[in-house]
Amino acid sequence: MRPTEILFPTDFSPASEAAGRIARAMALEAGARLHVLHVVPPVTDASVFREQLTRVGQGLAEGLRVETALRSGLAGRTIVHYAHEKGVDLIVLGTHGRTGWSHAILGSVAETVVRLAPCPVLTVPAGPRVPAGAAEPAAAAAPTPARPCLVCGKPSDELVCEPCRARIRAEAMDQKREAERSGRRGMPV
């Protein structure tokens, strides 16, 4: 088996950049075509991302056949649909590694893809990782620009800022307590 079509879905995050490097390495060594896909949420103007996607595609293109695609829809399902459509035989995908409550709220595209994909899926975790051979300390050390927090929209170093995370955690605790109390009420002593 030799993969001829490798799909690299990107959300332009640092997590997906790492996945892009690995996807490129795999495509180069297998002589496969690399599909770079970005999915925008439904009813969003996709043209804004066209330029950014082209730039990512060009960044990976050296010595490779690269095909970029911009789709709109629910990210997970759209990626899987694209994989079916193009006969993709390997998906390389970055994960943010969210767990617990933030995972439940923000969902996990990676999980949907792994569940539904017709082919093997390689997930690349975010976060600093020192590969055995070539470390890239410069890239790892660069400070991430402040982006808006996904919940409140204030600039934050992280995806969800600390106050929001604390609030989410508190809500989760309340809900858990509530659920457990009602469970006990019905129990025979």
Partner 1 sequence: MPAPRTFRRIVVGLDGSAHSRRAAAFVARLRPPRGGRVTCVRVVEPVRLPSMPLVPAPMRAQIAAQAAAMDRSRRAAAQRQVDRAAALLAKAGWRARGLVRIGLPLPELLAAIRGTRADVLVVGARGAGAVTHFLLGSVAEAALKRSPVEVLVVK
Residues at the contact surface with partner 1, assessed by CB under 8 A:
1-3, 22, 25-26, 29-30, 95, 97-99, 103, 110-111, 114-125, 127, 129, 131-133
Q: Which residues of 62-81 are buried (b: 16+ CB within 10 A; e: fewer)?
A: eebebebbbbbeebbebbbe
Least Å distance between CB 123 and partner 1? Answer: 5
Of 125 and 148, CB closest to partner 1: 125
Q: Which residues of 17-48 are buried (b: 16+ CB within 10 A; e: fewer)?
A: bbbbbbbbebbeeeebbbbbbbbbeeeeeeee
Of 95 and 156, CB closest to partner 1: 95
Least Å distance between CB 32 and partner 1? Answer: 8
Least Å distance between CB 72 and partner 1? Answer: 25
Enumerate residues 6+ apart whose C-beta is below 8 A from 63.
Answer: 28
Of 25 and 146, CB closest to partner 1: 25
